[in-house]
Chain A
Amino acid sequence: MVDVLALGETSGDGLDPITGELVAAARTLGGSVAVALLGDGLAAHGEQAAALGPDSVLLAESPALDGTSIDAYVTAFEQVCRSASPGAVLVGKTPLGQNVGPRTAFRLGAALAQDCTAVRRDGETGEVVASRPVYGGSATAEVAFTGDAPPFIVMRGRVCEPAEPSPSTDANIIRVDVEIAPSDIRARRVESVKQDIQGVRIEDASVIVAGGRGLGGPEPFERLREIADLLGGAVGASRAACDAGWIDHAAQIGLTGKAVAPDLYLTVGISGASQHMAGCSSAKNIVVINKDADANIFQEASYGVVGDWRKVLPAFIETVRELVT
């Protein structure tokens, strides 16, 4: 019996950053915290999760948990939840979490709140309350949960400061037996096709230069790439620019694209629709070049120029080049 169970995630030999973020969020709810890890060969990951300071780490290992089928993870997580009988479950809004969380919740008859940016325990009632953007980010909803099953909360990435690993820890590492039958596997990945990434990965970039419909075509993205290269950053885009085919969809920032939190997010020709801002409002500084002074994005920006990028950008690039080289 644990108070809060967080579904940790691995990434190669290490942990995905969401793991530390979920431990930090779980801590704010009070009580005992367990991190579950699902995979094949997790000994080292288990130690790393223990260092994040939970009370226990639950390791569910099986050769079926090799990343080729989400079904295996749903089957395993259901069993982990049944054996740990948590008071609440936290899952990350990651490719894995956003599938495993809702599907496991359904198997347990549990209610779930998707894409939450904060979670707390109500001071008076003691119930878990989650906040989440709705209507594309135009409103924030605070939701509580009914029923006896543990509430499932899917946390958006990069909204909590992650728990820091510390070498001294007394977390128990517990192995949980899970059984995954061949008949549990219904959908299977047979191939993974990855785009070649030029330069820095958007997710890791501390500088992102993003373009939107206002750029009018694919060529101006070459100019954005120049700026990104000068600043050691990556190029991003609005959905409108991706849908138009000017840049690959992998560059999309926003609610249904990537969520990023760079130090500098420079936008050119992006209006700042709430669904776009959902992916970048955690940026430390948003800088805007847009010809429409009323564009929504100015309201969330630290610095901006009202003007046509065709006139603003060449001088901007030239000056940046002088300043940084």
Chain B
Amino acid sequence: MAVDIIVCVKQVMDPEMPASAFRIDPDAKRAADAPGIPPVINGFDENAVEAALRIKDEVGGTITVLSVGGGHAMDVMKKPLSMGADALVLAQDDAFAELDARATARVLASAVRRIGRFDLILCGRQASDWDNAHVPLGLAEILGLPCLAVAQKIEVIDSSGVIVHSVTQDGYDVIEADMPALVTVSNELGEPRYPTLRGIMAAGRKTPEVWSADDLDIDPDMLEPGVRIVDLYAPESSRQVELVQGEDEADAGRNLAIRLREAGLI
């Protein structure tokens, strides 16, 4: 009961970069590229790759990594291959550079159809650029698949069923669906594995499939944005901190408690 898995992976700017390196390009209304800070694979997508690898370790099968974008940094995109994924498909075209969630889902759906056979599509729960948590839900709707969101555990029960532990506010829900299905993955799943040397060598030998808008028969209408960015700016904080001092750190701790009492906060 080997399963074929497609993992949707987005290349994003590094969300852990220092706050001082983050700049807004006010004319383009987007985050400016941070010089010297390479892009990364969206963190939750690495969790999704890890989830796929665990399933493959357990029951066998194949893992195809799929990404949509205007351009891709090959060393970044090959990371899932070096972790153990089998193939990489890049839907890459200038027309795919700044797509909104709806258009992204449409392109992903076309690429999934072209890949053909699959039992599971795994996505990250959200991409750390716009934190949309929207593309996978749309992809599931377009393809008519069951959609199981925010998994911390995925179990393939037989050749046709999947059980997911879905993170809730105070625990998790156990959700069942038939395959093929789409599952979004969260960091609660656990750390993604590190690439092995053998994996890195194998990844080096693999060439990705690269598909353009034409290859995918994408009609420009499909890419029309539904959301128009009117403005993009840095939020300002209006608070002014009062630093509480003392003779030493312990004294400062004492004074903090007293100050909070005076302010009526405790």
> What residues make up the interface of A, taking CB atoms closer than 8 Å to B?
70-71, 95, 98-99, 102-103, 106-107, 110-115, 129, 133-147, 149, 186-195, 197, 201, 203, 207, 231, 239, 243, 249-250, 255-256, 258, 263-264, 274-275, 285-289, 296, 298-308, 311-316, 318-320, 323-324
By the criterion CB–CB under 8 Å, are A114 and B187 in contact? no
The reply to whether the CB of B2 lies closer than 8 angstroms to some CB of chain A is no
* Contacting pair A102 B138 (CB below 8 A): yes
Closest to A321 in B: B257
Q: Evaluate whether A193 and B149 lie within 8 angstroms (CB atoms) in the complex, with A98-B133, A139-B31, A145-B228 already known.
A: no
B131 touches A114 (CB 8 A): yes
In the bound complex, residues from chain B placing their C-beta under 8 Å from that of A249 are 152, 167, 188
Q: How far is the CA of A188 from the CA of B181 in the complex (A)?
A: 12
Produce 1/0 per residue, B36-77, CB < 8 A to A: 000000000000000000000000000000000000000000
**22 examples of A-B residue contacts, CB within 8 angstroms:** A70-B147, A102-B134, A103-B147, A106-B142, A129-B230, A134-B130, A140-B232, A144-B227, A146-B227, A149-B226, A187-B146, A190-B174, A192-B174, A193-B174, A250-B170, A264-B265, A285-B263, A288-B241, A308-B249, A315-B250, A315-B257, A323-B266
- B residues sitting closer than 8 Å to A (CB atoms) are 13, 15, 19, 22, 24, 29, 31, 100-102, 105, 125-126, 128-134, 137-138, 140-142, 145-149, 152, 163, 165, 167-178, 181, 186-188, 191, 224-235, 237, 239-244, 246, 248-254, 256-261, 263, 265-266
Q: Is the Cβ of B138 less than 8 Å from the Cβ of A324?
A: no
Closest 3 A-B residue pairs measured CB to CB? Answer: A111-B226, A186-B146, A316-B253
Residues from chain A with a CB closer than 8 A to the CB of B100 are 111
| Nearest neighbor of A320 in chain B, beta-carbon distance | B257
Q: Other CB < 8 Å A-B pairs besides A114-B134, A287-B256, 5 of them?
A: A135-B22, A139-B22, A145-B227, A256-B126, A316-B256
Q: Once the chains bind, are B177 and A188 in contact (CB under 8 Å)?
A: yes
Q: How far is the CA of A89 from the CA of B17 in the complex (A)?
A: 35
| Residues on A with beta carbons closer than 8 Å to the beta carbon of B19 | 138, 274, 296
Task: Please name all residues of chain B whose beta carbon is closer than 8 Å to the beta carbon of A102 when the two chains form the complex.
Answer: 101, 133-134, 137-138
Q: Which residues of B contact A255 (CB under 8 A)?
A: 131
